[in-house]
Amino acid sequence: MTDTFQQVQVTALASAQCSIGYAPTVVDRKVLKVEAHLFNFDQDIYGEQIKIRLQRFIRPEKKFQSIDDLLEQIKADIDSIKNK
């Protein structure tokens, strides 16, 4: 079976926070994931291919004690990205 993708052209770039890793706080298995949170972007692109250009490294992945601790760190990461 061959996957087919519809080519979608987006006319604007979006800033984003991207996580590449295993999400150890959420799941306890070794499945590599790439997740991108696009800032100020409201189009429905689930299931579409996108291109991501990484610009800088924020921090290494770590396992947090709780989801609340993870969410607090994500907010701090987003603030550091937006305020650079």
What would the pLDDT profile of 16-62 be if each residue is shown by its tens digit? 899 999 999 988 788 899 998 888 888 888 888 888 889 899 999 99
Predicted TM-score (pTM) of the model is 0.72
Establish if 57 belongs to a structural domain: yes
Residues 33, 23: contact at Cβ < 8 Å?
A: yes
**Which one has a higher pLDDT value, 11 or 32?**
32
Establish if 60 belongs to a structural domain: yes
d(CA 1, CA 19): 29
How many domains, in total, are found in the chain? 1
Establish if 11 belongs to a structural domain: no
Domain of residue 78: give its range. 16-82
Establish if 36 belongs to a structural domain: yes
CB atoms within 10 A of CB 25: 17
Q: Please say if the pLDDT value at position 64 is more than 90.
A: yes
